[in-house]
Amino acid sequence: MPSEHFHDVIEALEQLQKSEALNVKLKCAIAIYEKISKRIQSIFLKQTAKRLMVTFFVRAFIAPSVPA
């Protein structure tokens, strides 16, 4: 009977170890996702700003000089 409990404890510890390893991997994956997400947002904001500047430039300087 104590042998069964010992094996149950060993099995529980192994499951806990696997769970902790998966938790560490999940935390790493979340950190990578957050870095990639921030980078994508940065690129998107830069592209949007460039588009807005081009639109402003065209409307302010080029469009008024083109006859309708």
Q: Which residues contact 34 (CB under 8 A, 6 or more apart)?
A: none
- For Cα atoms 13, 15, 20, give the angle at the middle one, nearest 5 degrees: 95
Helices (H) then strands (E): counts for the chain = 1, 0
Does pTM surpass 0.85? Answer: no
**Residue-by-residue pLDDT tens, the chain, 68 positions:** 577 889 999 999 999 999 999 999 999 999 999 999 999 999 999 999 999 999 998 888 876 766 65
Going from N- to C-terminal start, the domains of the chain cover: 1-59
Beta-carbon-side half-sphere exposure of residue 33 (alpha carbons within 13 Å)? 6
